[in-house]
Chain A
Amino acid sequence: MLMAAAAFAPACAQAPETVGREAQIRLTVTSEGSRTVDVEGLPSEDLAFLARATLSPDEWAAILRVEVASDEPSLDEDEWPAVLGVTAVSNGVLRFTPRFHFDPGQRYDVVFDPSSLPSAHSAAASSPLKLLHAVVEVPAPVHVASTHVVEVYPSGPEVPENHLRLYLVFSGPMSSSGGGAQVRLIDDQGQPVPDPFLPLELELWNEDRTRFTVLYDPGRVKRGIRPNEEMGRALVEGRTYTLVVGTDWRDAAGQPLVSEFRHEFRVGSPEERAIDPAEWTLELPAPGTRQPLAAVFSRPLDYGLLHRALRVVAEGGPLLDGVIRVEQGETRWVFTPRASWQAGEYHLVAAPSLEDVAGNRIGRPFEVASSNGQPLHGAEGASLPFRLPGLAGDHAVSEEYNPEIR
């Protein structure tokens, strides 16, 4: 078997010498930078014949066939289909241009069968072309494992027993190779918790594939339905668990993770109440500064939603532009405005989509008592008004902030 060297030089600008030269299969880089499989050194009568030929894809493949190299035998009488592409005479070579770029690191079997070409039947040919077989491969770029799990959310030491959703944040983009099976839960006896998470064929990522959403099996989380009654919740109040993310989860470059990730947490009592913003506390900035505004919650809220479901609005004005940070186990939301705070009235506004880690929303718990077919009470938004007093000297200002009740 001939191993064709991967050639990186651009294809020759002029026709290669054909006389007295053996035909050979080469992997070539075209001047446009794409890779092709070329048969070089063909007699000019064959090239002329092929240049004129109008052949079907199958007929072209009978002459020059590129296949994914596989150790797997075909299941049925069919052979594996040839790689899709276009074969044509170009710059004095017979060139196969794949429809999709050759996959780096993938080996391809190439067979050139000249038996139907004129020179095979020409009495003048001193040495008829032989059937050629080559294996070509575009070298895979050298990658080393470099991606790891940066953080898990909820990041705090304790979650409620009815915890619904967690996020894994990676240091770089991940692949779509189905890594969810790498997420495991180990109990405080070192035993794996059976089937804690929802098996999903589709994966829930953020746009740049650096944040992965894991859902606990909602059938076990929700009270009163069969999976819950048969298996119970995956998490049991009072116990400690370790979330483990294995390394065999491929990043966007196809590499495994650098290291296993472990996160230990306790399980507290289930949280079955709606979010109540009246329990929140605000830490107000001083006007004239860019000090952060902080909201402190009475329970951890959903990390993802905290980045888009809480905003600051100036009275009668637009949304404030600024940077959001989520801290202290998602119990503290910190907003630093781009422009200095002005004295005046503001609202911290929560969208109805805000949830805690158990799926409870403002005004609507995750599970509510049956409404017997009546329209359900939906989640609500909330607005927490606050006032930043005028600068000292403007007019009389109290040292203490007192929320104005309207």
Chain B
Amino acid sequence: MPTTRVILLLITALILAPAGVVSAENSTATNGVTPAFKHIGKLAFGPDGVIFAADGQDVSITALLLGDQMNGGVPGTKDVQAIDQKIASVLGIDVAKLLITDMVVDPNTRNTYLSVMRGMGADAMPVLLRVDGAGTIKVISLDEVRYSRIGAPNPPPAETPLVLSDGRSIPVANYPDQVDPAGLIGVQTITHMAFVDGELYVSGMSNEEFASKMRVISYPFETADEGTSVEIYHGSHGQLETFSPVFTFVPYEIDGEPSIVASYLCTPLVTFPVAALKSGSKVQGTTIAEFGNRNRPIDMIVYEKNGKDYLLMSNNQRGVMKIPTEPFSDAAAIDHHVPDTGGVPFETIESLDGVRQLDLLDSSHAMLLVELDGRMNLQAVVLP
């Protein structure tokens, strides 16, 4: 067998082809009734009567047209102590076999929705629940519920055209399905979703790549190709730039410009304009704050108090932070080393400890899922 060192001739690639060139698998929305989930993870509210639910195993997003099922509960959400144990009781399992994957508040009824996995093993079942103003825990039946599902929003397109130096293009499969008998295709996990003005923004994290991907998908779903998939970079302290997965984000207008305020794994707060989210573009985010060591953001909400906007962010290590957004518009990018935390000012809300999920309940309250003494409590607090 001859062995040789091959001279590398051609190294030009289009990383992201323009929409229409690429034929992505699962790119067309499927519609039907009675959706089945393998896994239920992140949730987001869409237009009236729609809730988006991400399937982390199937890597799809399903718009559930719950319609009137969203009504009928007592408006609001009553605090429920040991909500995890009570959900486990309703579902007929020990609480140790329950995994709460997300919590969101319906902006219309102010009822709280929780996505959970019932069981840990091969027989684990996804369940969507609602808690209303009387504290009643209701399993949302998906029987006969109309849905629209779009698949694989985060993986790269099925093929990447590799453009050779002589202008020819070779399609390269990113997810070859014929030569992958071991099922080792990379799986993407959806880390956050938010719906604004007809667009669903989705961030994800891969089990094989560290790059950050955000996708913008128009709703009603048509094809995934109509969205964009961009890699987002951010400066890290001066000399180096890197990529990192986005964990949570909020759409927010900064100086009248629709923007995304995103929290990353290790350089938490970054802003970039929505207009930059164009197919094939690489977005350079501006790092405006850093929030400490071994800290991972969980959720963010924006609220108004006394005429000023604030960001409330829950973290797995550093509690809940209140961040005035006023300085965002002229915040200087962090381009130098900061000794502890740096960038825009923030305040840690000491009274809020163990917050695992966070959403806006109404104009003056946040809904929290708080871990305390090994139990999860559903609890509303006055916005700080």
Q: Are B162 and A383 in contact (CB under 8 A)?
A: yes
**What's the dominant secondary structure at chain A's contact region?**
loop
For chains A and B in complex, what number of residue pairs have CB atoms within 8 angstroms? Answer: 317
Give chain A nearest CB distance to B360 CB in angstroms.
Answer: 21
Q: Are A383 and B10 in contact (CB under 8 A)?
A: yes
Q: Which residue of B93, B139, B208, B316 is within 8 Å of A213 (Cβ)?
A: B208
Residues of A within 8 A of B175 (CB): 308
Identify the closest chain A residue to B184 (Cβ): A307
Q: Which residue of A70, A307, A355, A368 is within 8 Å of B210 (Cβ)?
A: A355
With contact pairs A74-B82, A80-B86, A403-B6 given, residues A106 and B94 touching in the complex (Cβ less than 8 Å): yes
Q: Is A148 an interface residue (CB 8 A)?
A: no
Q: Is A13 an interface residue (CB 8 A)?
A: no
In Å, the complex CA distance between A72 and B95 comes to 11
Q: Are B89 and A68 in contact (CB under 8 A)?
A: yes
Identify the closest chain B residue to A284 (Cβ): B2
Residues of A within 8 A of B296 (CB): 198-200
Q: Is B156 an interface residue (CB 8 A)?
A: yes
Q: Among the listed stretches A118-126, A185-193, A359-367, which one makes contact with chain B, having 4 or more residues with CB under 8 Å of it? A: A359-367
Q: Are A198 and B265 in contact (CB under 8 A)?
A: yes
With contact pairs A250-B120, A349-B172, A378-B282 given, residues A370 and B189 touching in the complex (Cβ less than 8 Å): no
Residues of B within 8 A of A102 (CB): 92
Give chain B nearest CB distance to A364 CB in angstroms.
Answer: 9
Identify the closest chain A residue to B125 (Cβ): A100
Give chain A nearest CB distance to B102 CB in angstroms.
Answer: 10
Give chain B nearest CB distance to A55 CB in angstroms.
Answer: 17
In Å, the complex CA distance between A208 and B180 comes to 13
Q: Is B8 an interface residue (CB 8 A)?
A: yes
Contact residues, A159-188 vs B (CB, 8 A): 164-165, 173, 175-177
Q: Is A236 an interface residue (CB 8 A)?
A: no
In Å, the complex CA distance between A313 and B171 comes to 9
Identify the closest chain A residue to B2 (Cβ): A401
Give chain B nearest CB distance to A40 CB in angstroms.
Answer: 21
In Å, the complex CA distance between A88 and B277 comes to 55
Q: Is B275 an interface residue (CB 8 A)?
A: no
In Å, the complex CA distance between A406 and B340 comes to 54
Residues of B within 8 A of A223 (CB): 240
Q: Among the listed stretches B64-72, B104-112, B215-223, B228-236, which one makes contact with chain A, having 4 or more residues with CB under 8 Å of it? A: B228-236
Q: Is A305 an interface residue (CB 8 A)?
A: yes
Q: Is B33 an interface residue (CB 8 A)?
A: no
Q: Range of interface residues on chain B?
A: 35 or more
Q: Is A59 an interface residue (CB 8 A)?
A: no
Give chain A nearest CB distance to B107 CB in angstroms.
Answer: 25
Q: Which residue of B164, B173, B235, B298 is within 8 Å of A370 (Cβ)?
A: B235
Q: Are B189 and A211 in contact (CB under 8 A)?
A: no
Residues of A within 8 A of B160 (CB): 351-352, 381
Q: Are A380 and B11 in contact (CB under 8 A)?
A: yes
With contact pairs A225-B236, A226-B338 given, residues A362 and B265 touching in the complex (Cβ less than 8 Å): no
With contact pairs A202-B205, A219-B265, A323-B181 given, residues A227 and B4 touching in the complex (Cβ less than 8 Å): no
Q: Is A32 an interface residue (CB 8 A)?
A: no
Q: Are A405 and B9 in contact (CB under 8 A)?
A: yes
Q: Is A394 an interface residue (CB 8 A)?
A: no
**What per-residue 1/0 map shows which CB atoms of B33-45 lie under 8 Å from chain A?**
0000000010000
Q: Among the listed stretches A43-51, A127-135, A257-265, A274-282, which one makes contact with chain B, having 4 or more residues with CB under 8 Å of it? A: A274-282
Q: Is B167 an interface residue (CB 8 A)?
A: no
Q: Are B9 and A385 in contact (CB under 8 A)?
A: yes
With contact pairs A103-B92, A226-B338, A226-B340 given, residues A282 and B4 touching in the complex (Cβ less than 8 Å): yes
Chosen A-B contacts, 19 in total, with CB atoms closer than 8 Å, are A80-B89, A103-B92, A106-B93, A165-B210, A173-B122, A176-B117, A200-B296, A202-B205, A219-B266, A224-B337, A304-B184, A309-B174, A319-B178, A352-B160, A370-B240, A371-B241, A376-B284, A383-B164, A401-B4
Chain B residues at the A interface, C-beta cutoff of 8 Å: 1-13, 15, 41, 56-57, 81-82, 85-86, 88-94, 97, 99, 117-122, 124-125, 127, 135, 137, 139, 156, 160, 162, 164, 166, 170-176, 178-187, 189, 191, 205-211, 231, 233, 235-242, 244, 265-267, 282, 284, 290, 292-294, 296, 298, 316, 335, 337-340, 375
